[in-house]
Structure 1
Amino acid sequence: RGLSIADQQLVEIAKALSFDARILVMDEPTAALSGVEVERLFGVARSLCERGAAVLFISHRFDEVFDLCQRITVLRDGAWVSTDRTADLTVDEVVRRMVGREVSSLYPKQDAPLRDVLLEVRGLGRAGVFADVSFTVRGGEIVALAGLVGAGRSEVARAIFGVDRYDAGEVRVAGELLPAGSPRRAIAAGMALVPEDRRQQGLVMELSVERNATLARRRALSRLGLLLGGAERSEAQRWTRRLQVKASRLGAAVATLSGGNQQKVVLAKWLATEPRVLIIDEPTRGIDVGTKAEVHRLLSELANEGLAILMISSELPEVLGMADRILVMHEGRVVRELSRAEADETTVMFAATGQGVTA
């Protein structure tokens, strides 16, 4: 449990490979891996195939599917749609089959008017993890924290929200100074955090969709210490409808939902608190392309409504497609700030790998 999500994923893969299986099912194995780790995994998968093993690779990352697989089977809403040779398909065609309609844009980012600074981070540091992290996020703005796995992005987000303590610096929300290590005060000030691991950190998997969607509003929905069932149900319905959560019923266990719908429930839980600052870590990890577009559209709408959004993502197209500004981290420090106009994959990766960064 002490390992990062990426390291946990590598351990799971190693465990599966240790059985010397003839059939290996890999379900989103690269969701938390860096580019180098993905290449290493693909090398192992190819060597297994050469030795006669069969690999079933399940992924929403099209570049990886087209790189590794010889055939592609598309499922939609639990039903088989098609099976074709990879060489006979294009990404656009696979997307159309997956969502059942044309997807004009996966990144429907709208330009929103910039408002006052809502999140201000100054000189934030934690010994051995990150140092001298400073930036601001305005209302109406989406700022992305980019970098390689282990650069310290999630650790900075957790420190800002108060989950982890920091040794130096300060965090302000709308000018209010927040004490270190106090999520309660952060929430009261109008901050929300959607963590990178929704199953372990964002949801209580045994509880219902309704209960999870209102977890951050328990006190407001109670009277004399008793939770009002009608108020809880009404609040859950409001947000699950807005986010178009697909569930058989609100009383169903959240564990029965798809990854994309689980992510929507985490978002519903925090949006119900009506935050001014939203920190969202890996917003579309492990969810299908149609739901990705829905999440991106929601983020754009929230920015338009005046929220300040700090987005952490390991997917460069997502960073480039959704962010107004990009802060690139390398070994615990912000080494480059890029506007939407000047950012491209080469520039971001150049900074993320420490190229041109002086000690």
Structure 2
Amino acid sequence: MAVERLKSTWEELGRVDPLWAVLTDPERRHGGWDVEEFLATAVEPVEQVKALLDQAGLSLGDKVLDFGCGAGRLSNALAAHVKEVVGVDIAQSMIDEATRINQFPDRVAFVAYDGHRLPFDDESFDAVVSLISIQHSPPAVQLACLVELQRVVRPGGVLVCQIPSRPSKPEQLPTEAMRAHIELLDVPSPVGAGQRAPVRTRLTNVSDQTWPAGQLIRLGNHWHRDGEAVRWNDGRADLPHDLPPGASVEMELPVVAPDEPGDHDLELDVVQEAVTWWAEVGSNPVRARVTVVRDAVADVPALSPQPEVVIEPRPAPRGRDDGGMEMFGMDPSLVRLLFAHCGSVVVNQVLDDMAGTEWESFTYVVRRGETV
């Protein structure tokens, strides 16, 4: 079974070289990490998590789960911000090492689990943080992990999860190619606070160069109110195929309405991930006024199935020379649909570099729904 293979791999890594298995610096193999230096590497990513939550008006709360804690790197850094941290991992050998180097034994505890069901009651935590962990689980295990994390977070709590999407490094378009005309075909209004809704558009390439599919060219959105951004990046739609100069394509962008009722401006723009939003280099975004009401609106259209992106096939860099670890991506639309199905909302999706240069990776900030 996939879970047993995963457990076996990480048990061996935890026995042989646990700190290096978490941070695979080639110069630190075979016990090359100093414990204090190793733990210090978690300060910056935890500060980044805090900043993302602050931006969304959310917090870690008092009790946090560090999922896939390994040797407890993030757990110790999280202890500087919350009252209680529990680290959980599939490998007992990792839990043993985390316990050995625990800097806050009065506030940080470590627990092994079987890879299937977390040993915690429903709604046990204010927040879950999982960085550079879910990426090593096979697809079916990834889905099970996210459902379990949703289960153990209290209603209104948060999940911050980093997951790669696919092996990809975009070839930056020249600035003069970043020229788009966006026509709004259907913008639902009103919509309920936090409600997911489709925005139908027609996107036209008004540059003199072809936009290639597979280069992380996407339609995205921002929400504004009274001249201030209130939500950034809650929707993405991939360019479905190469788009030559003058050509158009109809696209549907899933967006999530802000939490505060009232009139908001929904702005649509094109982005090349890891490069720039096109409005920053002279392209024209488009805006529409959307009324947000307190309760969900029954006649908001359902989302259509997302079209497959047509790109040239290429091998995925799955196996790596690092002791048997593998990398597995998860499509962002699947992440969003899974949490939406569970009654939660992805309030932000931020490109990160945690999976290395060969992978496109995102950190998701999720607010757990009030009901499941």
TM-score range (shorter-chain normalised) is: under 0.3
TM-score (norm 1): 0.25
TM-score (norm 2): 0.24
